[in-house]
Structure 1
Amino acid sequence: MADVKHTALLVMDVQNGIVSRYLQGEDTLRPFQEAVSAARKAGVQVIFVRVGFSDGFPEVSPRNKMFSHLAQAGNMTVSADTTQIHESVRPEAGEPVVTKYRVSAFAGSNLEVILRAKDITHLVLCGIATSGVVLSTLREAADKDYQLTVLKDACLDGDPEVHRVLVDKVFPRQADVMTVAEWAKTLA
């Protein structure tokens, strides 16, 4: 049985403006919903992570290839609908929503403060995209000595081959990689 007291499920970038690019039917987000449900049932802390910026985008450098186009579009401020957590996995009372300013969930956010305050030592990662927030957060969390699990079916990427290589070959070097169903069994 997993040590749920010291475990947190990070639901990363499952926000309106990102989910809309990946939806391929009503079942697309089912693994995320199942992961959140299993975590809540077992008493695992659920933490939502989103990317969003202040009005005027002062956090975005024009040299940042990934984020500078978002500043030009102007639709990823923290108050915009695009940065709100998708309704299918809506946070409940007591579940923090962390705002980050770069790809990793740790970058510019208060995530590490929350994890320390709650004595979290094991992170379970899911999110959009596998090659973005999941990869960046996994690498940084591994360097910070967190125990890591990646829920491979609760990760989406625009490139299926990149997703496969990451979950089959790269992530297992630093994390346990399993399906949501496999992880849920460890919580029982």
Structure 2
Amino acid sequence: MPNSNQHAALLVMDVQNAIASRFSGNGEVLLPFQKAVEAARSHHIPVIFVRLAFREGFPEVSPRNKTFSKIAEAGWGAMTPTDFGAQIHESVEPLPGEPIVTKLRVSAFTGSDLEVILRGRQIDTLILSGISTSGVVLSTLREAADRDFALTVLSDACLDNDPEVHRVLTEKIFPRQAEVLTVEAWAAALD
């Protein structure tokens, strides 16, 4: 394993059934995620899965939280940890021993034990992928940068409902704090 990968981890964020199902033909649009997971595993880079889930009845959700109160009101995708909607999508199914981190807000760090896992494994470099670019990826990138992690965003392993927002983030905003690469370019650089 190359030295540059010793302290890196791939985060696969919110690629769970309730969220992935919002993208038509999700099998094909999830191929970059599959390729990123395969590349990480083949180069001994830990893969950490992050999902959004709440307790039964959504006690963590404030009515003042515009995003999550709508989810709670609608019972969106039955988002408790055991519900189908909260499970990692089968196209990127975790292997035994690969952590699944449950978060309570947009950022992968908020309400989760992600940082404990990263610090325990001496990880200082994060490779980010997720659904959505303007949600979990943006929020996690900002928080991770503030926590002094080195960052790479896999532009084609990020999805957003708004292609223009995705473009602006990956071309103009993210490069200020992270290296932005396609999965293919990132995987090639690992060899």
Distance across 2 between alignment mates of 1:63 and 1:127? 25
Do residues 103 (structure 1) and 106 (structure 2) align? yes
Provide the secondary structure at the position in 2 that maps to 1:161: helix
Which of 121, 128, 138 aligns to 2:124? It is: 121
- For 1:36-47, list aligned pairs within 5 A: 36-47=37-48
Shift of 1:24: 3.0
Distance across 1 between alignment mates of 2:29 and 2:73? 29
- For 1:148-163, list aligned pairs within 5 A: 148-163=151-166
Do residues 185 (structure 1) and 185 (structure 2) align? no
Q: How many residues were matched structurally? A: 188
Distance across 2 between alignment mates of 1:72 and 1:136? 23
Alignment-mate amino acid for residue 48 of structure 2? I
Query: Which segments of 5 or more consecutive residues in structure 2 lack a partner in the other structure?
Result: none
Equivalent residue number for residue 24 of structure 1: 25
Normalising to structure 1: TM-score of the pair? 0.98
Distance 1:50 1:185, change over 3 A: same
Alignment-mate amino acid for residue 39 of structure 2? A
Equivalent residue number for residue 138 of structure 2: 135
Query: Which segments of 5 or more consecutive residues in structure 1 lack a partner in the other structure?
Result: none
Provide the secondary structure at the position in 1 that maps to 2:171: helix
Distance across 1 between alignment mates of 2:114 and 2:52? 13
Distance across 1 between alignment mates of 2:16 and 2:26? 16
Distance across 2 between alignment mates of 1:8 and 1:25? 24
Equivalent residue number for residue 173 of structure 1: 176
Distance across 1 between alignment mates of 2:150 and 2:27? 32
Provide the secondary structure at the position in 1 that maps to 2:56: coil
- RMSD, aligned CA: 1.0
Distance across 1 between alignment mates of 2:116 and 2:132? 24
Distance across 1 between alignment mates of 2:190 and 2:20? 27
Q: Percent identity?
A: 64
